[in-house]
Structure 1
């Protein structure tokens, strides 16, 4: 799904002139259609936030598709990614210092129909939303021995309800809707991570292509931060925009979910947020979940 950053019906003469100027640099941005991503990119996608000499083109794909694309074919200049995937794209991309989804004492949730204890769930088969997701990385740090199967994230709840899996690992809005489907929470991995490390759990971020060059990387990162700030300053309008991509989720739940993952930490990770990112990679590598060491470079 592609999303133009401007509405042709409201395009001004100045916009048209900018688009035809030879000096205009087009930046391709890819992110998920989930309500938190759509919310934070509202300013840029609707042309509320502009940068002279730059035009931003948005493509919407699910996060696991974006993870694989950034690793296998680093086409997009900016891509939303899972932190669990970043080690495998670090030669092509750096991390933006903004745009992160951070669970501060909360995060991906293991759910089941049966009242498993955290120790019992280590021994069952769990449906996971992809081995490049940070949720999977956190799960394997919690239980390295656990058996997993990849399932599209939106299919995990139905698969657990149908008895195809003993438990499921939920990301996105499923973290808020599982109880309404009759499932029980076994463990919140964001809370588990907080108990283990005293730190928030960084889940998703924005990666920016190194080949853009230092100037364009910094300008683009500041534009994304301005878009996030614009959404926070115009919450009602940004949430209304994000709802068109949110599927059947209730507006109140979408608002709650956005509040969980688009906030002050999205503007800036903070020192503890940056420490958490580095620790996540150190632990992942030391325990054999991540295949290579990760050097973290923050832009902006």
Structure 2
């Protein structure tokens, strides 16, 4: 029986999961693939809708009773953090209307940790591809952006008010834990799933051309050079194996957010 998998259509996910989705991993089951933005998968996973699912690390406190974190396939990195954007470098957060890509995204959790003591007038959850146009057109004062927006925000006449990746790394010395891969307990063997995904990552690196058509077909009209920048930034050694440093990053994020009263407490990963 096929396993259900939900990931984003972003280039890092399509690159990583191409071989698994297309039946190229020996002994792996068939995959029933769903593409969805992370704000959708965060809540869908809470309802137990998928066997394997990409979610925000920020959503883990609500999911770990039913899912197990896999040490592969996700997105952590350095120089890969969310950006806080505005039309004017003098923009103040106090009293501002802020557009965010999801209320349980790692981006928004980092924003809340960074912005403690500031009082925006309102927070609005907006599909991430609508955030930059919305700020540029004045519907929002500030936008919190992720993914390829790091490479394209200047096209909208916007300025970076803060790089939350730089802030996080300077404060912790750790990479940013962005997207996690979870396996549903009692349905997916986590050791087997880890092996399938690691093989898929390795195959993607060994033959990047094999996944190119699949990646570009789902890249939401991104130019090929932006697609490659996206993959280079978000597919790295932590995608293959979180390792102790990756788990420490997840612990730092979730323990800090629990201490700040933002998320429920979870047991440390290490």
Point out where structure 1 has 5 or more consecutive residues left out of the alignment: 1-24
Distance in 2 between residues matched to 1:241 and 1:234, nearest whole Å: 13
Please name the residue that 2:206 is paired with.
233
1:104 Cα shift?
Answer: 0.8
Matched, 1:81 2:55: yes
Q: Which of 42, 46, 65 is 1:91 aligned to?
A: 65
Please name the residue that 2:3 is paired with.
27
Is the Cα–Cα contact under 8 Å of residues 6 and 34 in structure 2 kept in the other structure?
Answer: yes
Matched, 1:132 2:74: no
Please name the residue that 1:167 is paired with.
142
Point out where structure 2 has 5 or more consecutive residues left out of the alignment: none
Please name the residue that 2:157 is paired with.
182
SS of structure 2 residue aligned to 1:211: coil
TM-score of the two chains, using structure 2 as the length reference: 0.94
Distance in 1 between residues matched to 2:169 and 2:104, nearest whole Å: 21
Distance in 1 between residues matched to 2:12 and 2:212, nearest whole Å: 9
SS of structure 2 residue aligned to 1:50: coil
Q: What is the root-mean-square deviation of aligned Cα atoms in Å?
A: 1.7
Please name the residue that 1:8 is paired with.
none
Is the Cα–Cα contact under 8 Å of residues 30 and 59 in structure 1 kept in the other structure?
Answer: yes
1:146 Cα shift?
Answer: 4.1
Matched, 1:110 2:84: yes
Moved more, 36-45 or 233-242: 233-242
Distance 1:229 1:296, change over 3 A: farther
Distance in 2 between residues matched to 1:59 and 1:89, nearest whole Å: 19
SS of structure 2 residue aligned to 1:94: strand
1:235 Cα shift?
Answer: 1.4
Q: How does 1:118-267 map to 2 (within 5 A)?
A: 120-121=92-93, 124-144=96-116, 145-147=118-120, 148-212=123-187, 216-267=189-240
The size of the alignment, in residue pairs, is 267
TM-score of the two chains, using structure 1 as the length reference: 0.85
1:122 Cα shift?
Answer: 5.3
Q: Which of 255, 262, 267 is 1:289 aligned to?
A: 262
1:63 Cα shift?
Answer: 1.2
Is the Cα–Cα contact under 8 Å of residues 78 and 206 in structure 1 kept in the other structure?
Answer: yes
Please name the residue that 2:245 is paired with.
272
Distance 1:146 1:200, change over 3 A: farther
- Mark the structure with the bigger radius of gyration: 1
SS of structure 2 residue aligned to 1:212: coil
